[in-house]
Amino acid sequence: MSLVGGNRMSRLPALIPALLVILGTGMVALALNAPIQPAGLPYERTFAAAPNDAATNLTIADRSVTNALQRGEWRVAGMREPVATALIATSKDGRPVPLDWRNNVTEPVFSADLTLSEVDKVMAAIKEHVPTEAVVLSWWDLSRKIRVLAGREAPLDDPLARGLIVPTSWAEVADRVLASEKAFWGAGIASSEADKFTRFIEALLVDEETGTAALAALAPGKDIYVAVHLSDAWKVASSRPEQLAIGYRDFPTSGQSHGVVKTTREWIKSEKIKGGYAVEPIGHAVRLHYLNDKDSSDLLIAKLLPFSTSNPMRLKGLQLVFQHRGYWIYKLNRNAS
């Protein structure tokens, strides 16, 4: 089975509401030590103890985090290498925390690529810029990293594990895939947490002023910071495909950015793409993320990220305090919400 898909077009497949994104189980000790391949799945999920040197690029974690790391693998029969791997810690409340994510195929398998070094840098920045009494609102997998590595309050989590990106090759069994990942990553989380996370998703899918006010309402009386990653646009789209249409296309590069920029703009024009677009370097290629309609460019999630139709430096209710690669961190200004 080939998972390579260099041109993922238009809307993600419609997903049933009770599914979706990267992490959370109650019986972690049991689940991480046994291979799981429910009937009808196109892959096998396995976990084993990570090597002692697996977290050498993680400088801010204490020994309680790095001593019991697991290496997760998602394997497809007939492929020598796993299609995706992740280094996983376990939080004090028993929830697995994805410290990194590596896709060994072109198309993302559940999550975008993340390296330990970039996660480490972002977590260090959060510790520096976010006061200990403040809260950080972010997608639930990033929230877990913030709680475990940065030691800051990041209250959002999701028993429905929303936001998982299912490869197009698995579209016919997407409901089974998402049910399996939800059962693993979302187990043991109170159902009440889903309501608050739904409100977070809804805040990202409205205009800037309305969305900023909705974010402020999620943590009354607290100083609020908001952390997003470029991949969050895909997570939001997978959660609400009827509200956000997004696609991507990869363009090979020889190291000359000017030529690639010209090529991408010509392609956008020829395809009559009306929404904004963002460019992301990935190895020897450039990935063009594009919004399929003009209205999507006006949503808060697009305004928070470096799409061509937005300027994160000019947001009225959110002040940019840190940016690194795909990560953008803002402080919410309640007076403007």
Sign (positive or negative) of CA dihedral 256, 257, 262, 267: positive
More confident residue, 64 or 195: 195
Distance CA 36, CA 74 (A): 10
Residue 15 pLDDT greater than 60, yes or no: no
Burial of 119 (0-12, 13-18, 19+ CB in 10 A): buried
pLDDT band at 255 (very low <50, low <70, confident <90, very high): low
The pLDDT, as a whole number, for residue 334 is: 81
The pLDDT, as a whole number, for residue 187 is: 83
The pLDDT, as a whole number, for residue 36 is: 43
The pLDDT, as a whole number, for residue 248 is: 93
Residue 313 pLDDT greater than 50, yes or no: yes
The pLDDT, as a whole number, for residue 178 is: 96
Residue 25 pLDDT greater than 80, yes or no: no
pLDDT band at 336 (very low <50, low <70, confident <90, very high): low
**CB-side neighbour CA atoms (13 Å) of 218:** 31
Q: Give the number of other Cβ atoms within 10 Å of residue 58's Cβ.
A: 20
* Least confident among 13-17, 286-290, 302-306: 13-17
In the predicted model, what is the mean pLDDT of the chain?
Answer: 87
pLDDT band at 40 (very low <50, low <70, confident <90, very high): confident
Interval 214-229: pLDDT, tens: 999 999 999 999 999 9
Q: Which residue has the tokens 């990033």?
A: 142
Average pLDDT over residues 323-329: 97
The pLDDT, as a whole number, for residue 256 is: 61
pLDDT band at 68 (very low <50, low <70, confident <90, very high): confident
- Percentage above 90 pLDDT, the chain: 76
The pLDDT, as a whole number, for residue 38 is: 52
User: What's the one-letter identity of residue 251?
Assistant: F
Burial of 35 (0-12, 13-18, 19+ CB in 10 A): exposed
The pLDDT, as a whole number, for residue 44 is: 96
Rounded (5°) CA angle 28-240-285: 80
More confident residue, 56 or 27: 56
Helices (H) and strands (E) counted in the chain, each on its own, are: 10, 13
